[in-house]
Structure 1
Amino acid sequence: MLIKLLKHAFVACACVYTLNAQETQNISLQACIEIALTHNLDLKAADLRAETETIQFKQSRNALLPSINANYNLGLSNGRSIDPFTNSYVNEELTYSNAALSINTTLFDGFRILNTLKQNSLNKAAAEMEIEEARQNLVLDVTLSFLQVLNFRELVKLAETRLITSKEQLNRLHKLQEEETGDPVAYHDLQGQVALDQSAVNDAKNNLNNALADLKFLLNTERPIEASQLVLLLNLEPRSDTADAVYEAALHNLAAIKAKELREEAAAKGVAVARAQYAPQISLFANFGTNYSSAARLFEDAGTQTVQTGDFVRLDGTDYAVFTQEGLFEASPISYTDQFNNNLNSAAGVSVSIPIFNGFQAKNAVQLQKVNRDQASVILEQTKRALKQNITRAYNDLNAAYSNYQLLEAQVEAYEESFRINEVKFNLGVSTSVAYITSKNNLDNARINLTNARYAYLLTSRILDYYGGRIAM
């Protein structure tokens, strides 16, 4: 009767296990997945890695723009120095200032900037795929952890039922012992069986607590979750797809494959970026500048004056001094603004840099990028081969689990009938405790094996759903 109830609970309806349905709220697998997608730290780390790739892509895109730089200096010097206005030596306190604006843009660099942009664009797309990969992996991990909790929860129920049956039988024998009509050997055998069953309950509860802790770790939430709240509709119908079909679907649906394909393309672009070191670089440049000096003066005409030159003219034996007229000028400082306007200068031109010899740096850079490209190709091929192997193994495990489940169903039914007969005979005193305990243990172990086979099938089926891209996100 019990096996029929179990079949009905697991195959035909939702598996709900609550201590008090009025006080607890059921939590579905989808609800757990949504919690994990919101709070899981591994997924947040993947988001941050993708953000880094996005910033690098923006930086390489902005490298197409010209560079514009401005600088401004203002200083004070004492002692002997060069006047930046006249380029002559002065020995005084000097205030000086200059400003400059430079513009530079690359016309040709062996397409290094363009290939770097394409490479970072591929890396950005790969990072976005890696976020999706992390989401898919998280959904699978939560699903498998959720099923593990249900499995251990059911094993706890079986262990507790097993203990109750043993205790009931021990209580019956205890009463017979008090009436001095019971078999002491059977009584002590049942005492040992009760201890064994209690140990099994403790182990099952510990496994359940660990599985629930693993699930909570994935969810990363402070929300209290009890195993009794988890609910899932279970279906053990055989699958209609094949391992090859699942593999082909995985190649198109798994973000892990797409991410590694994009990384391979990005690595190939890295080779083109490195080859740009062989090409000349052609740039346009333009510079604008001006300066100021406190030593600069403006001289204005203030008339003339007669001054002796120091020369003499002899006439009739008499020396006469020579005089000349020289201009008079008044010096006045030139304002900061006027100097900046008057001292403007500019330059423009083309710059060409031709690589001739750089210690084989370009050659080694290209070779390193080729190695990176080959490594990315190998990683992609390894991923595909491992994927095919895992799918084939999972499909074999699925078929084995389904066959075992059907066999164990029949085994449980047989052991149920055997135990019913042995229990009746033991209660009537026509069978030994050894036969009773053996029959009981056979049934209990068969029920445990049946539960494990059921969840082995469900776990493997979910893994194949993940590979085939059918797990709900």
Structure 2
Amino acid sequence: MKKLIILLLFITTGLNAQNTGNPGLSLEECIQLALDNNINLKRSHLQAETEKLNFRGTKSQVLPTINGSYNYAINKGRSIDPYTNDVIDQQFNYSNAGLRLSAQIFNGFELRNSIQRDRYNLEAAEAEKEATKQQLILDVTLAYFQVLNNRDLLNLAKLRLESTHQQTDRLKILNEQGEGNPADYTDIKGQLNNDQSAVIAAENQLEQSKLNLSSLLNMDSEVNVEEFQVLPEMDKYELSTEEIYSESLENLEVFDGQRLRINAAEEDVAVSRSLYSPEISLFAQLNTNYSSLASLLNETGTQIVETGQFINIDGTNYAVQANQGQFSQQDIPYFDQLNNNLSSVAGVSVNIPIFNGFRAKRSVALKKIQLEDARLELENTKNDYLQAIKQAHADMEAAYEDYYVLQEQVNAYEESYRVNEIRFGNGVSNIVEYIISKNNLDRSRINLANARYGFLIRVRILDYYRGV
């Protein structure tokens, strides 16, 4: 493992660069670009922010609500005088203002459970954000290795083509001079076409892997990666599948996120059960009003007026007179009315559920189903990860063993090709033996490169599952 860590550090720093004019991006730079630009990661950040706002909104419900109201209107036609409560038929202006306070005291612990539920959802969203980040780093690393692998395969294909070109040129000269077997020249031309096709296929594979990496980085332009030489030493991976799986359960954020979602679902069941409980709340209200018809009568003095009655004294009628007060009408100012007409009310409200069409029962049953689904989702994820770990571990061990077998194979085919190339050049062997020897060497080199990168990729996957 120590050598593997050295290898990964070697990759990220881009040592032994071969192309200093265009060094390309290191693995570390690609990962940082992905963390800055990847759309899925940005969406996970938005989801976490949404859960944070939901949590804050739920917590704020413990505070009392205070609402004010105000209106001003003109009334025409038959109506009730808001000042005297008399029926009138005239135009007047009126205004109302009020202030209402409401505070919930008890509702079956719905609010407490809702706060706890949204807290779990917030923590789950944060864990899922980190899980998305971990997965993105792995995907970028694997895509980066795939570009390197395909680039090595392209270089091998070009070397094959160059070697075949040299033999083709030599046989062409011999064929033009009338020496040798003409079929050797046509056979080597056919091999040249195969090698040209292999280069085209390798270039396409490299382009596809670059496009995949560009997609993860959310970049429109083509991504060029660093030129470096991978260290050939590969250490055997010592951890078993059981050890890797045990670490994944403890360290991977994806499992933490799903456990928190289960906790949130359990709290959601408790929230639904609160529909069976009575709700108790306090309320208070302050009201006032204004009417343009409201007025005061002020006494301005008195005067003697006849009452319309008479008294008879000795046969003579005398009119009865009396003092009568004199008044003037004065409108009551707007703010004076608002101050004089103040009224307040305060009380306790109790809402007792008796029958609600089985809404509470259905709600609890639905939340229980969602809870069970969350538990099954966690078990399904565990099974998927266990199978993936077993597959990656088996592939890693196969690639490790295959690598050293292929190394011996490459050494053997290199010697065989060296001998057959000399023999063919001296006219001792035929073109068929040469092509077979060349193809064997080329295939073994390709398989060796695939085994090398296959091992490194599986090791990185297993490290991801361990959460390191």
The bucket for the TM-score relative to the shorter chain is over 0.9
Instruction: Please report how far the alpha carbon of residue 20 of structure 1 lies from its aligned counterpart in structure 2 after TM superposition.
Output: 6.4
Cα 1:96–1:12 change in 2 (3 A) is closer
Partner of 2:333: 335
Give me the CA root mean square deviation.
2.5
In 2 relative to 1, CA 334–154 (structure 1 residues): closer, same or farther, beyond 3 Å?
same
Counterpart of 2:384, as a letter, is A
Q: In the alignment, is the contact (CA less than 8 A) between 2:11 and 2:228 conserved in 1?
A: no
Q: Deviation at 1:74?
A: 0.8
> Given the alignment, which residue of 185, 197, 200 partners 1:199?
197
Deviations 1:364-411 (A, max 9, x none): 001111111111011011111111111111111111111111111111
CA deviation string 1:142-196 (max 9, x = no partner): 0000000011000001100110111111111111112211221110000000000
CA contact (8 A) 2:25 2:226 kept: no
**In structure 2, how many angstroms separate the alpha carbons of the residues matched to 1:347 and 1:149?**
76
For residues 13-39 of structure 1, the C-alpha deviation after alignment (integer angstroms, 9 at most, x for no partner) is 869799963312253211211111111
CA apart distance, 1:90: 2.4
Partner of 1:40: 38
Deviation at 1:11, TM superposition (A): 11
Please tell me whether the aligned partners of residues 149 and 212 of structure 1 are also in contact (alpha carbons under 8 angstroms).
Answer: yes
**In the aligned structure 2, how far is the partner of 1:309 from the partner of 1:373?**
90
- Aligned mate of 1:301, from 292, 299, 311: 299
Find the counterpart in structure 2 of residue 446 from structure 1.
444
1:261/1:380 contact within 8 Å kept = yes
Contact 1:150 1:230 survives alignment (8 Å): no
Please say if residues 14 and 234 of structure 1, whose CA atoms lie closer than 8 Å, have aligned partners that are also in contact. no
Query: Where does 1:334-413 land on structure 2 (aligned, <5 Å)?
Result: 334-413=332-411
Whole-angstrom CA distance in 2 between matches of 1:356 and 1:129: 41
Q: What amino acid sits opposite 2:168 in the alignment?
A: L
Q: Shift of the alpha carbon at 1:237? A: 1.2
- Which amino acid counterpart does residue 211 of structure 2 have in structure 1? A
Deviation at 1:12, TM superposition (A): 13
CA change 1:42–1:229 in 2 (3 A) is farther
Q: Is the 8 A contact 1:13 1:234 kept in 2?
A: no
**Which residue matches 2:432?**
434
Matched, 1:172 2:170: yes
Instruction: Check whether the contact 1:152–1:207 (CA below 8 A) recurs between aligned residues.
Output: yes
1:158 aligned residue: 156
Which residue is equivalent to 1:69? 67
Question: In structure 2, what residue type is equivalent to 1:182?
Answer: G
Q: Which has the higher mean CA deviation after the structures are superposed, 28-37 or 121-130?
A: 28-37
Rate the CA distance shift 1:416–1:269 in 2: closer, same or farther, 3 A.
same
Question: Unaligned regions of 5+ residues in structure 2, if any?
Answer: 1-6
Q: Measure the CA separation in 1 of the matches of 2:409 and 2:155.
A: 20
Contact between 2:241 and 2:393, CA under 8 Å: does it hold in 1?
yes
Shift of the alpha carbon at 1:66? 0.3
Provide the secondary structure at the position in 1 that maps to 2:22: coil
Counterpart AA for 2:150: F
Partner of 1:81: 79
Q: Which moved more, 1:413-422 or 1:345-354?
A: 413-422
Q: 1:135 to 1:232 in 2, by over 3 A?
A: farther
| Residue 120 of structure 1: aligned partner | 118
Asked whether the 8 Å contact 1:28–1:230 carries over to 2, the reply is: no
Letter in 1 for 2:84: T
Normalised by the size of structure 1, how large is the TM-score? 0.92
Match of 2:129 in 1: 131
Residue number in structure 1 paired with 2:88: 90
What letter corresponds to residue 206 of structure 1 in structure 2? N
Q: 1:334 to 1:233 in 2, by over 3 A?
A: farther
The correspondence of residues 276-315 of structure 1 with structure 2, limited to 5 A, is 276-305=274-303
Percent identity of equivalent pairs:
44
SS of aligned partner of 2:369: helix
Name the amino acid aligned to 2:34.
A
| Residues 1:466 and 1:14: Cα distance change in structure 2 (over 3 Å) | closer
Deviation, 1:464, is 0.2
**Residue 468 (1) aligns with residue 466 (2):** yes
Give the aligned residue type for 2:87: Y
- Give the match's secondary structure for 1:90: strand
Deviations 1:52-94 (A, max 9, x none): 1110000001001000000111111122222212221222221
Equivalent position to 2:47, from 18, 30, 49: 49
- 1:141 is aligned to 139
Is residue 145–residue 214 contact of structure 1 (8 Å, CA) maintained in 2?
yes
Aligned to 1:5: none
Cα displacement (A) at 1:103 = 0.4
Distance 2:173 2:336 in 1: 119
Residue identity matched to 1:460: R
2:88 maps to a residue whose letter is V
Aligned 1:186-225 pairs, distance under 5 A: 186-221=184-219, 225=223
Q: Give the number of equivalent residue pairs.
A: 461
Question: In 2, Cα distance between the equivalents of 1:401 and 1:319?
Answer: 140
Q: Which amino acid letter does the alignment assign opposite residue 376 of structure 2? A: V
Q: Which amino acid aligns with 2:421?
A: E
Separation (CA, whole Å) in 2 of partners of 1:80 and 1:441: 106
Question: Whole-Å Cα distance in 2 between the matches of residues 407 and 357 of structure 1?
Answer: 77
Counterpart contact for 1:155–1:204, Cα < 8 Å: yes
Deviates more, 1:89-98 or 1:152-161: 89-98
Shift of 1:285: 0.5
Q: 1:123 to 1:19 in 2, by over 3 A?
A: closer
Equivalent AA in structure 1 for residue 180 of structure 2: G
